[in-house]
Amino acid sequence: MHWQRRTTLMIGIAALLVVLAGGSAWAAGLVPFANRDTAVHGTAYDANTVAPDFKLEAAGNKPVSLSDYHGDVVLLYFGYTYCPDICPTTLATLARAREALGSKANKVQVIMITVDPQRDTPDRLNAYVQKFDPSFIGLSGSLDQIKQVAAGYGIYFQAQKPNADGGYAVDHTAGVIAIDGQGKQRILESYGTTSEQFTSDIKTLLR
Amino acid sequence: MSLRFARTLLVASGIIAIIFIVAACGSGDASPTASGGSASTGDIVVTGAWTRPMTASMPGMSMPSGSPGSMDMGHMTMPSGSPMAMGMDMSVTDAVYFTIKNNGKTADQLLSAAADVAGSTEMHQSTLANGISSMKPVSEVDVPAGGSVSFDPGNYHVMLVGLHRDLNVGDRFDLTLTFKQAGAVKVSVEVRPN
Ligand SMILES: [Cu+2]
């Protein structure tokens, strides 16, 4: 009888500890500790870094400049539509981040600039980015124009050798550049940044 | 009375803890989404197969205005007569993700993937070095005995090249994975945004 009661008690205590440990870990997972204030998740650029302006082509060969979005937070991404993994993952993350912003989302413009202008026409890019969010825009131009814009943002890209079918992948810097309403280049968000982290950083830039 | 109450409380917390542990173990073994495709053949179990929605037809490529007969792409030149340069390449790609578990005592290898929804199917691995993403074809993927391999965004994926039809949220299609030991494993792939 005594033996039984002690065993029950010990199992009970062990169970209670498990519940407490599991519960607090769960709570911790829901409430991130770091960056709760004004600190950003990505890498901040030097203060007063002006985002280089550009003029490229959107759907219907409509010219679009960065300065058209003055006053908005611009999330600039360099990718390509034949990219099945990294690019869609990033665009889906940005779509979720924008969704979480509610009414503030109309102050956020996602722009994807192609690193594969040979295959990505403005219309193809447009069809692609709108699969993720109808507000997203895709820009293309000549290879020289794209090279110049990419270089201005410290973005590397290089097409790989084509396979037997003529298909090829393009290596490219995978980060997202966040530009504030004043046209300042503020944050580089590396690949793997979560939608919650994007939402938080966008809110910081909108303040 | 109070001792009895304490015991009742502890026993109750024990039951809760057991439920907690069982739930945790369950979710560890199962696919990330219960609704994801699952299939098994012998010792190989494939779970949580999914892909993102994508349209099969996108505006094709056109020659940039003012472009000469060939395009310089840095290290390669495309003749203007090739199908791609003529604007006929309308192919759209997508990536399929899943988890492979090998419950057997011998290692296995995923050798190939095939799906009717696409013109061709390739196994790829994305890598990230110094912030630069790259994607390379892989000829086989080892699945160790008693181990598992995840095909996840930013790592391994089965790339669908040239979709034959639109993939809309909620759609399903079959993907056949061929293993060296286990042979063909048919997986149902779910189309969902994330
Ligand atoms: Cu791929």
Q: In Å, what is the CA distance from A61 to each residue of A27, A94, A106, A138, B152?
A: 50, 24, 23, 11, 35
Cβ distance B17 to A18 less than 8 Å, yes or no, reads: yes
* Residues of chain B positioned with their CB less than 8 A from the CB of A171: 132-135
Tell me: pLDDT of B42 over 90. no
Strands B183-191 and B172-179: antiparallel
Tell me how far apart the alpha carbons of residues A117 and A38 are, in angstroms, rounded to a whole number.
37
Tell me: pLDDT of B115 over 90. yes
Query: Where do the H-state alpha helices sit in chain B?
Result: 2-29
* Residues of chain B positioned with their CB less than 8 A from the CB of A124: 58-61
Tell me how far apart the alpha carbons of residues B116 and B170 are, in angstroms, rounded to a whole number.
17
pTM of the model: 0.74
Q: Are B16 and B167 in contact (CB under 8 A)?
A: no
The beta-carbon neighbor of A9 closest among B10, B64, B84 is B10
Summarize pLDDT for B127-180 with one digit per residue, the tens: 999 999 999 999 999 999 999 999 999 999 999 999 999 999 999 999 999 999
Cβ distance A85 to B159 less than 8 Å, yes or no, reads: yes
Cβ distance B126 to A86 less than 8 Å, yes or no, reads: yes
Give B43's pLDDT tier (boundaries 50, 70, 90). Answer: very high
CA distance B106 to chain A (A): 31
Cβ distance A167 to B161 less than 8 Å, yes or no, reads: yes
Q: B192, exposed or middle or buried, with CB in 10 Å at 0-12, 13-18, 19+?
A: middle
CA distance A193 to chain B (A): 12
Nearest C-alpha in B relative to A175:
B131
Q: Which CATH number is correct for A2-206, 3.40.50.300, 3.40.50.2000, 3.30.420.40, 3.40.30.10?
A: 3.40.30.10
Cβ distance A92 to B193 less than 8 Å, yes or no, reads: yes
Q: Which residues surround ligand 1, an ion (CB under 5 A)?
A: A 84; B 124, 135, 159
Each of the 207 residues of chain A gets a pLDDT tens digit; together they read: 455 666 665 655 555 555 555 445 444 433 333 434 458 999 999 988 999 999 999 999 999 999 999 999 999 999 999 999 999 999 999 999 999 999 999 999 999 999 999 999 999 999 999 999 999 999 999 999 999 999 999 999 999 999 888 889 999 999 999 999 999 999 999 999 999 999 999 999 999
Q: What is the CA radius of gyration of chain B?
A: 23
Using the structure block, give the residue that is written with the tokens 């944050």.
A187
* Residues of chain A positioned with their CB less than 8 A from the CB of B153: 85-86, 89
Which residue ranges make up each domain of chain A? 2-206
CA distance B144 to chain A (A): 25
Tell me how far apart the alpha carbons of residues A150 and A147 are, in angstroms, rounded to a whole number.
5
Q: Are A104 and A203 in contact (CB under 8 A)?
A: yes
The beta-carbon neighbor of A175 closest among B62, B124, B131 is B131
* Residues of chain A positioned with their CB less than 8 A from the CB of B72: 143
- Contacts of residue B176, defined as CB under 8 A and 6 or more positions apart, other chains included, come to B113, B114, B115, B184, B185, B186, B187
Summarize pLDDT for A160-202 with one digit per residue, the tens: 999 888 889 999 999 999 999 999 999 999 999 999 999 999 9
Top-tier CATH class for B3-56+92-191:
mainly beta
